[in-house]
Amino acid sequence: MSACVTRLVVGVAAIVLAAATALGELCPKCRDLAFTTDVGHCAECPNTTGSRALKLCKKCSTRLGQCEHCRAPVKKGADITLGDDANGKTVAAQPNQTLLVKLRGNPTTGYQWSLAKLEGDAIEAVGKPDYVGDKSPREIVGTGGTYHFTFRAVKPGKATLTLAYARPWEKDTPPIKSFTLTVEVKEPAAKAKQ
């Protein structure tokens, strides 16, 4: 491959990657599409969009609860939210549903939750985990909070995820807590009969 073609391929990949990170609210149908980073115009306000293919800017998409690309309704939040009580359980999901696992933790102790293992390809991790600190009246250090892990069901099948609560630098020490969840992804009954 010539140097010119290589630069073109790398440039196109960078544009698609930049567009994917710049996008806001997309429906499940549009979520996996690639968009270029040329500037477009919002159909609802004078703002610009991250791509000419998008019909709404992020602000209008959020305000209207619509997909930036096709304007279909976009549901806020996860389809399935789970906590400590789901440890060791099996849950059912449908393709394109999102799962939010919320686990208590306190990073000021050095411990943090991390994805230790994901077996099976029926689900995938979405983004990086978030940590949401507890609200305290005087912003007291060390009050703890909740780690949020988001997963998406991608195809029918079974997957098991394991989260570990450990100090990252203590490689030879087992985690002090773990969380395991099995997800069975199945098509909706009406679609499965077709």
81-117 confidence digits (pLDDT tens): 999 999 999 999 999 899 999 999 999 999 999 999 9
pLDDT at site 9? 40
CA 49 to CA 146: how far, in whole Å?
33
Report residue 2 CA to chain centroid gap.
37
Domain ranges in the chain? 3-64, 80-193
CATH architecture of 80-193: Sandwich (2.60)
Q: pTM of the prediction?
A: 0.61
* Dihedral sign computed on CA atoms, order 135, 138, 144, 147: positive
Cβ(151)–Cβ(124) under 8 Å? Answer: yes
pLDDT at site 185? 95
